[in-house]
């Protein structure tokens, strides 16, 4: 059922106006990941199993003394195995991984990479001849979006190692740790290793690093495993798996990436249309540690991903998933499951490297190895889990603590941002997300590690629910999760989020690392106090209402004790509203108290205006009711099953009220005020009594 049919009483013009405002959000500063059009796998594959058989192909460097130094501290059995493999490799092995991949001639082969640094020198030169003149569209980041056939034709235009169309291939480092085998792109290729249309691939025990996009890329694969692999120091991603199924990440690590350490984008959308009960997940991620990135985990259209028993820390954000970028199969994002993860202390702020010009330098000069990270997209630092337009996600039994902003962040994303214009889809995200049984504000030892707030939610969506938390939320009261999935207490169903929060999201989205553009007015980028867009909106509204209210009081209400008292409450409410907007996380008490005072102002003003200005009084009292309802909605209970929050109606009604009140205050009184006049300054009927005698000049006849 579409939302327009669900709420037939909502005027279409109002919904159009709200969605028109949302359209301002429709131009993200950068596209997260642009790839050729690709279909999701048919799901006929399976997760590959590790094979302990002796390798079919060997890769080693020719420097035996360097090899012996690398293996000298290995456990004796492992050292002897490596020495034996090296002797074999000297005779019949390869010096570069790409050479071994090219020699794979059947499914099910194993490649062993012996300890060493692999820079793949034959792959590094820039393309020449036909490969230098390929015709293909350019991405927003400047690289060409090549077809699969072009990737086959020119394997090293973008890839240090290209694995194309292989089946059941296993590539394993033979060192004592993943740092003993290092594949280094030296910032000269988009990808260190690209596995494209290669089903059943297994990567194990090595490091890939230093690219202008991502270290390890699996595209359009049905069946892959990433096992004990480290990726680091990339412009975008450490691990990127895209449009894939039957995948497993385990015991991996990633750091120093400008987007995310782990990115299962457009995972196979196998659970679309289901509720919480699903038969399987397309990608499993477990035992991994992603740290010191822009975000530990992310996924546009990260569908049907099971993320459990990992650690995400020291990033700007712990984990995020979204429906905010077009060209990704499987949108809108749905059915991620996060459980038993340790998500903490994600408070890094790398935007300073954009502001000071560090990220404008060539990648090799930026200092990634010394801790520099160049954030590629807009996101709120200091947040545990961010969901920007997702449905049917489950977050349970995670430890989420130590975030200066929020443990959980949920906002909706209209469908036209991903390129879908159908009216019925525009409010199709931010539904049925369940946050339950998480340990908030405490570490595993039980020590207090509070979050700035537990929940930041823009208010849109239906079926979302949360557990009560120790650190509060905005809005102040939330729908609560029942004991069983699908049970929600106090459910709400909003077509659109809160207007001020949408304005904040709009301003904050206007970010570009390439243009060194950090949005002014957004506290994500350091705006404080009067610089914040929320404060500027509050100041502008306060200035208008102060002017209109002041004139109205002077011309109509100053003779009324009720009108004067109400006006003083309104003045206090406006001051409190502005003060609260300067606080990064004011919670709900200050905004709700400000709304309460404003509601009392309009209530008193409406009563005082009623004798002389009955229609303006009615409008004022209606505005008062909506304002008090808004305070109740924010602080006491989100009103269920209304399509828009009271704040929208209040904001829309304030405009005609301000115009009407200004006109009423500027017009002269109907008659001079005097004894018996009404308190608002308009004339009241004269009390009944004996008619006064008429004084006339005496005439001779009368005399």
Query: Parallel, antiparallel, or unpaired: how do β-strands 480-481 and 488-489 relate?
Result: antiparallel
Q: Give the integer Cα–Cα distance in Å for 664 and 668.
A: 8
Residue 585: pLDDT band by 50, 70, 90 thresholds? low
What percent helix, strand, coil does the chain show, rounded to 5? 30, 25, 45
- What does the mean pLDDT of the chain come to? 90
Note the pLDDT of residue 606. 96
- Residue 490 pLDDT level (bands cut at 50, 70, 90): confident
Confidence of residue 6 (pLDDT cuts 50, 70, 90): very low
What local confidence, expressed as pLDDT, does residue 406 receive?
96
Reply yes or no on whether the pLDDT at 650 is more than 90.
yes
Q: Provide the pLDDT for residue 31.
A: 57
CA distance 302 to 310: 17
Average pLDDT over residues 119-141: 95
CA distance 146 to 593: 57
- Shortest CA distance to 59 belongs to which of 110, 23, 123? 110
* Cβ(184)–Cβ(215) below 8 Å: no
Q: What is the pLDDT of residue 492?
A: 85
Going by C-alpha positions, the residue among 519, 497, 504 that lies closest to residue 411 is 497
Residue among 681, 663, 684 at smallest CA distance from 560: 681
Mean pLDDT of 369-385: 97
| 384's tokens | 């545990």
**Model pLDDT, residue 584:** 65
- Cα distances from 286 to residues 197, 307, 313, 342, in angstroms, run 24, 6, 15, 11
**Which of 17-31, 156-170, 355-369, 640-654 bottoms out in mean pLDDT, i.e. has the lowest?**
17-31
Question: What number is the average pLDDT over the span 319-326?
Answer: 94
Among 303-317, 352-366, 444-458, 656-670, where is mean pLDDT lowest? 656-670
Tell me the per-residue pLDDT of 51-100, one tens digit each, with 9 for 90 and over.
999 999 999 999 999 999 999 999 999 999 999 999 999 999 999 999 99
C-alpha to C-alpha distances, 514 to 30, 235, 378, 520, 522, nearest whole angstrom: 9, 12, 12, 17, 18
Summarised one tens digit per residue, pLDDT across range 532-572 is 999 999 999 999 999 999 999 999 999 999 999 999 999 99
Percent with pLDDT over 70 in the chain = 90
pLDDT digits (tens, 9 = 90+) for 393-423: 999 999 999 999 999 999 999 999 888 889 8
**Does an H or E element contain 603, and which?**
helix 589-609
pLDDT at residue 498 is higher than 70 = yes
Pairing type for strands 305-308 and 473-474 reads: unpaired
Mean pLDDT of 246-258: 98
- pLDDT at position 486 over 90: no
Residue 32, pLDDT score: 66
Confidence at residue 120, expressed as pLDDT on a 0 to 100 scale: 98
Q: What angle do CA 598, 602, 604 make, to 5 degrees?
A: 115
Q: How far is CA 482 from CA 335, 464, 490, 491, in A?
A: 19, 11, 10, 11
Whole-number Å distance between alpha carbons of 357 and 517: 11
> How confident is the model over 432-475, as pLDDT tens digits?
999 999 999 999 999 999 999 999 999 999 999 999 999 999 88
Q: Please tell me what DSSP assigns to residue 442.
A: B
Q: What is the per-residue pLDDT for 302? A: 96
Structure tokens at 507: 């301003």
Task: Report how far residue 651's alpha carbon sits from residue 656's, in angstroms, rounded to the nearest whole number.
Answer: 10
Cα–Cα nearest to 543, from 576, 574, 521, 565: 574
On whether the CB atoms of residues 258 and 231 are closer than 8 A, the answer is no
pLDDT over 50 (residue 678): no
The average pLDDT across 26-36 equals 63
Residue 461, token pair as written in the block: 């969506």
pLDDT at 700 over 50: no
In whole angstroms, give the CA distance from residue 487 to residue 589: 28
pLDDT of residue 582: 85
Residue 2 has pLDDT above 50, yes or no: no
In degrees and rounded to multiples of 5, residue 306 shows phi and psi of -105, 110
pLDDT at residue 16, as a whole number: 42
Phi, psi of 230, deg, nearest 5: -110, 135
Per-residue confidence (pLDDT) for residue 274, from 0 to 100:
95
pLDDT of 344 reads 98
CA distance 198 to 161: 13
Average pLDDT rounded to a whole number, residues 123-140: 95
Percent of the chain exceeding pLDDT 90 equals 81
**Tokens encoding 360:** 């404008």
**How many Å from the N-terminal Cα to the C-terminal Cα in the chain?**
93
Closest among 289, 386, 272 to 341, alpha carbons compared? 289
């Amino acid at each position: 059922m579409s939302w327009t049919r669900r709420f037939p009483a909502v005027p279409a013009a109002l919904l159009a106006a709200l969605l028109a405002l949302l359209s301002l959000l429709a131009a993200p500063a950068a596209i997260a990941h642009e790839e050729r059009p690709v279909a999701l796998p048919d799901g006929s594959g399976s997760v590959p199993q590790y094979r302990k058989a002796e390798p079919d192909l060997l890769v080693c460097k020719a420097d035996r003394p360097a090899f012996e130094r690398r293996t000298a501290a290995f456990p004796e059995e492992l050292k002897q195995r490596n020495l034996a493999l090296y002797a074999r490799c000297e005779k019949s092995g390869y010096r570069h991984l790409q050479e071994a991949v090219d020699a794979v001639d059947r499914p099910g082969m194993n490649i062993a990479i012996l300890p060493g640094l692999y820079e793949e020198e034959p792959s590094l030169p820039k393309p020449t001849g036909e490969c230098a003149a390929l015709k293909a569209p350019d991405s927003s980041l400047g690289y060409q979006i090549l077809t699969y056939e072009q990737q086959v034709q020119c394997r090293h235009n973008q890839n240090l190692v290209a694995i194309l169309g292989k089946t059941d291939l296993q590539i394993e480092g033979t060192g004592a740790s993943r740092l003993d085998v290092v594949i280094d792109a030296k910032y000269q290729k988009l990808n260190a290793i690209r596995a494209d249309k290669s089903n059943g691939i297994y990567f194990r025990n090595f490091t890939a690093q230093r690219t202008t996009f991502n270290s390890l890329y699996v595209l359009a694969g049905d069946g892959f495993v990433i096992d004990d692999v480290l990726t680091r120091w990339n412009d975008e991603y450490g691990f990127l798996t895209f449009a894939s199924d039957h995948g497993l990440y385990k015991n991996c690590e990633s750091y120093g990436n400008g987007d995310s350490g782990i990115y299962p984008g457009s995972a196979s959308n196998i659970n679309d249309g289901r509720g919480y009960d699903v038969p399987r997940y397309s990608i499993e991620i477990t035992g991994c540690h992603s740290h010191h990135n822009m975000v530990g985990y992310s996924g546009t259209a990260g569908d049907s991903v099971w993320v459990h028993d990992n650690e995400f820390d020291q990033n700007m954000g712990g984990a995020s998933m979204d429906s905010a970028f077009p060209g990704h199969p499987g949108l809108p994002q749905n059915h991620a499951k996060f459980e038993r993860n340790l998500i903490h202390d994600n408070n890094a702020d790398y935007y300073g490297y954009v502001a000071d010009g560090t990220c404008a330098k060539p990648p090799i000069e930026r200092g990634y190895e010394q801790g520099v990270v160049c954030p590629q997209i807009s996101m709120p630092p200091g947040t545990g889990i961010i969901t920007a337009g997702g449905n049917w996600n489950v977050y349970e039994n995670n430890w989420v603590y130590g975030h200066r902003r929020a443990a959980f962040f949920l906002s909706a994303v209209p469908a036209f941002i991903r390129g879908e214009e159908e009216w019925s889809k525009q409010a199709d995200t931010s539904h049925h997300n369940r946050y339950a049984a998480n340990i908030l504000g405490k570490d595993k030892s039980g020590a207090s590690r509070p979050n700035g707030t537990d929940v930041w939610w823009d208010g849109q969506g239906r079926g979302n629910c949360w557990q009560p938390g120790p650190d509060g939320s905005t809005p102040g009261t939330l729908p609560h999760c029942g004991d069983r999935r699908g049970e929600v207490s106090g459910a709400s169903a909003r077509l659109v989020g809160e207007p001020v929060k949408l304005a904040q999201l709009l301003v904050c989205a206007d970010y570009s690392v390439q243009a060194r553009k950090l949005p002014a007015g957004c506290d994500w980028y350091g705006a404080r106090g009067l610089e914040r867009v929320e404060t500027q909106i509050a100041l502008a509204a306060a200035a208008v209402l102060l002017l209109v209210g002041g004139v109205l009081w002077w011309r109509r209400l100053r003779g009324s004790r009720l009108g004067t008292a109400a006006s003083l409450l309104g003045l206090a409410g406006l001051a409190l509203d502005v003060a609260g907007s300067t606080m990064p996380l004011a919670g709900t008490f200050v905004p709700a108290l400000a709304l309460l005072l404003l509601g009392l102002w309009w209530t008193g003003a409406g009563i005082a205006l009623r004798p002389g200005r009955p229609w303006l009084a009615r409008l004022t009292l209606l505005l008062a009711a909506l304002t008090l309802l808004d305070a109740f909605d924010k602080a006491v209970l989100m009103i269920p099953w209304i399509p828009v929050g009271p704040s929208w109606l209040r904001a829309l009604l304030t405009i005609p009220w301000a115009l009407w009140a200004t006109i009423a205050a500027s017009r002269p009184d109907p008659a001079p005020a005097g004894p018996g006049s009404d308190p608002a300054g308009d004339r009241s009927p004269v009390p009944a009594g004996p008619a006064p005698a008429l004084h006339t000049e005496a005439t001779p006849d009368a005399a």
